[in-house]
Structure 1
């Protein structure tokens, strides 16, 4: 590439943007505190340097970047899933994909919360019991299991797409794809159209990926310019423990499962997940990162479209390993702060409730805190305790999301290998997908 921007890999550029954003954010917080900010007036309006940079430029550009990613989610999931299901020669494969995917997601979530609670009991984060907060947390009511099942089926699929209801979109896309597969020549012609649309959407994903270093920069700059250092210091033990358990689960649990169930190299998986993990870390949203996750699974990991188009949207909706880890540590932490002794049956109830809630509350806004409120109520712990950890939850959410999408791709690789829909040459090729992820904007006309 002749462009100077392409001297570095996409991963390096994203990392540079992240590091620069963190540095700028910290400097802004140090330089422009309440006493040192530079304020001025224009036509009677008061302006602040800090507010212009953080709440103005960084916030606006960051929201545009997140919106650009979310813009792709619904069309990508809908079109990709239709392409995958419409070409299924064996209808029973869809049932196997669902059973294997959901089963693996439940297993990893159960392991995650068990690991989290075990570590929290070994290294008690709330034993001092002297934390207090002025924040009040109002628990929202979680939907019943019956409501969740009924709400999976859309009465108005267009409305489901407008609202971004992922489970309803998945159900409609699967049914639409199956109908196309059963319609003969008309279905084949329509499949070709959707395949072309899918190709264009994936190219749009690549364009957004190449703008990611700038989006990551403004997101990190705003976050670290506003996060309170005092809040982190007060909860450093809780924060550190959750972070360590997330890393252990992401590296150890996923490595063991991938090696045992597929024989694939965990090192290669983690190496190829770098870009998607950095995206997830920056956006704190599995759904917003979904276009990048799907691009990674197809082009870098060699997962077939019929598998990735099903397992990844499903994982972005119901796979809550990172959230389960937060719940496990937070439950023990809150019990210790309030000096409440939990029995072994209570701990088993927490594991069961959190595991089932990861599916039962799928697609609900603020799902992590709703699930935690359910867990606390189940073992009679005060829900107000959630207010203690809200301050640092945003930072931990970044790491949780990176762990979640890594788990999504790990499960996709295992399912694809078991279904014979994994290109192992692509998976084992360190350079696979690198060519597809770059767009040479300077020579765009020649390429087209």
Structure 2
């Protein structure tokens, strides 16, 4: 990336900050602004500020389809060893499903320990209809797009991944005849990455607006009574990130876990504020490659797959929420029901979209599987946005951890780049 000297002018202190510093500062200012607006009865103003955040999210979502398709095609064409690609796929799925089951277990343990549902009356909650998960075979068949253009229009990431893999494979198989197409996608990939860079530079403003809206809308009145539920999930996410992901990076990959967390701070904050794993994908792909030295061929495969099937944060949320509902209604759960929750949430995570609010649908499925009242979902829905922020940040962290582990195992990581503290800088788009 082109670097320039220190910027001057009235906004120089702001423009000279690293992008992650701008984002953190914007997050803090947004929270303070939102609390002030809520306390002074100006929640409507917070809703108006949200429009800026909505615009930023639209820009991010605009990148998802072209970035996933183009980068994955380029990743496939850069790998001629199909056996290696198969290994990467098996490792990715194994990592995602294994850590998801572990996350649910942590959620259940914290739910049993912290008793988030004790003393909460759910008798006034509205009844809800159960949501049943589609059969696994239906989810499997649904991976194959009937119309790739329609899949792109609908933003169906899993179908786009499937088509991009086959398309890239076909380019490889035709040999020399596919070279013009390969060169075209390489050039297009450079353009898409530059577009991504420009969009990411607006992240601080989007983060400020979204946090001001969340704090301004919810305030402290709703958060304090259900603070134990929020605390249990946030504590669980920290435990899972530090011990599970940090431990795997340190012990299995033999890499510095502190550098890992330094390198993914931008996607973590964007995921925290946007509550969308898929929406954060462009930021995650840029950070993992530039900050952690992961090769494009690995990142372009594992990250889109992870944004689709890796839901560790969402799965942990299922464990905490299920215990909350059971305790609030005075229902004792047995070991078989605990195991059912783990299995159901793990399998349901495969077909859960990486978009805001998808966790509530998944929670309805999990509660139904063990016979718990769905009225509890109505209460959880009131603080779902707050919970969604933590679980999405954990989902994205898991995607990055998997990518680093696989890249290290395949020799596809630049260790010098990984060990060099570096974070994305906001591009100076005024200079071209």
- Please give the range of the TM-score, normalised by the shorter of the 2 chains: over 0.9
Can you list the C-alpha shifts for 1:145-198, whole angstroms capped at 9, x where unaligned? 111011100010000000000110000000000000111223122111111111
Find 2:318's aligned residue among 300, 311, 327: 327
Can you list the C-alpha shifts for 1:214-245, whole angstroms capped at 9, x where unaligned? 11111111111111422212211111111111
Find 1:266's aligned residue among 257, 269, 276: 257
- Written as runs of structure 1 = structure 2, the 5 A alignment for 1:166-245 is 166-245=157-236
Q: Distance in 1 between matches of 2:352 and 2:194?
A: 33
Q: Distance in 1 between matches of 2:374 and 2:127?
A: 10
Q: Distance in 2 between matches of 1:363 and 1:430?
A: 29
TM-score by length of 1: 0.91
- Cα deviation for residue 320 of structure 1 reads 0.6
Does the 8 Å CA contact 2:197/2:427 hold for their aligned counterparts? yes
Larger radius of gyration: 1
Instruction: Name the stretch that deviates more: 155-164 or 366-375.
Output: 366-375
Structure 2 unmatched runs, 5+: 1-5
* 1:38 counterpart residue number: none
Rate the CA distance shift 1:364–1:441 in 2: closer, same or farther, 3 A: closer
Q: Distance in 2 between matches of 1:339 and 1:121?
A: 13
Does the 8 Å CA contact 1:133/1:388 hold for their aligned counterparts? no
Q: Distance in 2 between matches of 1:221 and 1:171?
A: 38
- Cα deviation for residue 32 of structure 1 reads 2.6
Shift >4 Å, 4+ stretches = 131-136, 362-366
Does the 8 Å CA contact 1:74/1:161 hold for their aligned counterparts? yes
TM-score by length of 2: 0.94
* 1:28 counterpart residue number: 37
Rate the CA distance shift 1:418–1:324 in 2: closer, same or farther, 3 A: same
1:251 paired to 2:242: yes
Can you list the C-alpha shifts for 1:251-284, whole angstroms capped at 9, x where unaligned? 1111112222211111110011111111111111
Rate the CA distance shift 1:238–1:132 in 2: closer, same or farther, 3 A: farther
* 2:426 counterpart residue number: 438
- Cα deviation for residue 364 of structure 1 reads 8.3
* 2:97 counterpart residue number: 106
- Cα deviation for residue 402 of structure 1 reads 1.0
1:11 paired to 2:45: no
2:224 is paired with a residue of what secondary structure?
helix
Q: Distance in 2 between matches of 1:167 and 1:339?
A: 40
* 1:91 counterpart residue number: 82
* 2:294 counterpart residue number: 303
* 1:416 counterpart residue number: 407
Structure 1 unmatched runs, 5+: 34-49
**Count of aligned positions:** 423
Q: Distance in 1 between matches of 2:101 and 2:268?
A: 22
